[in-house]
Structure 1
Amino acid sequence: MTSVVFPLDPAPAPDPGPRVSQEPSARLALVAVPHAGGTAHAFRNWLRPARTRGFRMYGVRTATPGTPAPDRTVRARARHLAESLAALGEPYVLVGHSLGGLIAAEAVLYLERHHPEAVPALLVVCATAPPHLRRPPPVAGGTEEEAVAFLRTAGGTPEEVLADPGMRELAVAMLLNDLASLRGYAWEGRRVTTPTAVYAGLTDRVAPPEPLARWTEAAESVTTRVFASGHFFPHDRTAELLDTIRLDLAGAAASPAPDHPHPAHRP
């Protein structure tokens, strides 16, 4: 199986001379799973702040309309992600935004069952409702009008994109393709045992912060944080988010979950 995880942060060029680097020499992998309708390109602006905080960025390839339907479901995408993470062979943090948070959580469940040595040091889910809560599909009818209304509600899509017919059509197609992966999805009830950080945007109308506490029904060790922004707070407040991940990573390392082995992929 071709890996769906790939480096966003290119290898540094050879050092041309004796100088002191301003960046950490040993950087922890940070694997980022994008929101519905998004791609790894959404995390390009994370590269510089991630480097200065000791992270090396990896992206995740998303399913496309050409991907066979059985491989586009949340659980299939999570399985492909998990197998790619198991082959990564180094400590890492797994971050998912919105739909990406759900895929990330399912991937960790798969890893805990099939590759427990390869679970992340920390699972971070951003703007992701607790997976066991029933909620109406965000674009129930699948029409372009509904999709555009949802994109405007969620934010993060420039108005010039929605105003251009060609760009709007592409944005809608990508969104609907991702949302189709939710059809028939149901949380199976097993709780994540990997340390989990749940982040929400204070003014997020898609995944509001109020149900955050119910993530404890889906994960055993949960830290919750609220950021002063909307659904796209991971991109609006990237530096603050990365600092918070570092803080929660330190807390997870200091307090491993009881009665669970300390996995090899945790630093």
Structure 2
Amino acid sequence: MSWFRCPETRPWASMRLFCLPHAGGSAVFYRPWAKEISPAVEVHAVQYPGRADRMADAFVTDAHQLARLVAGAMAPLLDRPAALFGHSMGAVLAYEVARLLQERGSAPVHVFASGARAPHDRGDERVAERDDDGVVEEMLKLGGTDAEVLQDPELRELVLPYVRNDFALIEGYAHRPGARLSVPVTAIIGDADPHVTEEQAARWGELTDGRFALKALPGDHFYLVERQREVIAEVLRTLEVPAAY
């Protein structure tokens, strides 16, 4: 099963944007981006195993292994410049994927880290160890579209295992020393996100020798749902891609 969902193939696009979802998220989260973004960009959203149309695939329980698998799957798609956008858990994975790609001589042109503390500054929360109600409570607190699904008992039974896996994966992640990124990084957060402050987001700048920028938009952890247009505009401006032909 393919690792990427591309809502609209664009053979003429000058660039690919690879989008990595949050814990409990799936590729469908980024589907609306294809309509909003410039025709010059082809969107590929990562579909993690164990959910949606990959429900039958075994979970990956280690963040470093997941990054290796995503980076490997990207190889045939790197015939054009590529940028990475990750939200929350996806931001940390995007960083690890970028490290691997850089090591292999095919570094992305930019990494966008959304709604996340820097990989070397993780919190000590352990949501994965809570009971089902505790995990659901955390999802509801975070907000986002996945939270609504957890209100339905049947869907909850399907969704909770991969949500718990994702929390365990990111809470078990440890930053490993190694080559610094030379890739430019932009951190974007919601100004009312209870999980990451501007000071914490600024620490992403410590991980790259490339250019670093920090942008705060109005909103909470899922600020990018309501502010989708602004986030995409920021991505296009940063990548110097015209919004439309």
1:213 equivalent to 2:213? Answer no
* Residue 8 of structure 2 corresponds to residue 9 of structure 1: yes
Q: Partner of 2:163 in structure 1?
A: 175
Q: What is the TM-score normalised by the length of structure 1?
A: 0.79
| Cα deviation, residue 7, structure 1 | 1.9
Residue 187 (structure 1) aligns with: 175
Q: Report which stretch shifted further, 136-145 or 91-100.
A: 136-145
**Does residue 228 in structure 1 map to residue 215 in structure 2?**
no
Q: Distance in 1 between matches of 2:3 and 2:128?
A: 29
Distance 1:194 1:204, change over 3 A: same
Alpha-carbon separation, structure 1, partners of 2:14 and 2:93? 24
- Between the aligned partners of 2:177 and 2:223, the Cα distance in structure 1 is 28
Cα distance in 2 for partners of 1:106, 1:160 equals 30
Structure-to-structure mapping, 1:242-257, within 5 angstroms: 242-250=232-240
Instruction: Report the Cα distance in structure 1 between the residues aligned to 2:107 and 2:144, rounded to whole angstroms.
Output: 30
Partner Cα separation in structure 1 for residue 198 and residue 158 of structure 2 = 30
SS in 2 for 1:87: helix
Which residue is equivalent to 1:19?
none
Deviation at 1:28?
A: 2.2
1:63 matched to 2:46: no
Is 2:20–2:46's contact at 8 Å kept on the other side of the alignment? yes
Q: Which runs of 5+ in 2 are unaligned?
A: none
Matches for 1:32-51 after TM superposition, within 5 Å: 32-51=19-38
* Change in CA separation of 1:176 and 1:239 when aligned onto 2, cut-off 3 Å: same
Relative to structure 1, the CA distance from residue 149 to residue 248 in structure 2 (aligned partners, 3 Å threshold; closer, same or farther) is same
CA distance, structure 2, for counterparts of residue 167 and residue 104 of structure 1 = 28
Correspondence 1:96 to 2:83 = no
Larger radius of gyration: 1
Q: Name the counterpart of 2:98.
A: 108
1:143–1:245 CA distance, 2 compared to 1 (3 A): same
Q: 1: CA distance between counterparts of 2:150 and 2:100?
A: 37
Structure 1 alignment gaps of length 5 or more: 13-24, 252-267
User: Retained in 2: the 8 A contact 1:33–1:100?
Assistant: yes
For the residue of structure 2 that corresponds to 1:193, the secondary structure is coil
Checking the alignment, whether the CA contact within 8 Å between 2:190 and 2:223 is kept in structure 1 is yes
Query: TM-score when scaled to structure 2?
Result: 0.86
1:178, 1:145 → 2: CA distance? 16
Compute the displacement of 1:177 (Å).
1.5
For 2:214 and 2:7, locate their aligned partners in 1 and report how far apart those are by CA, in whole Å. 27
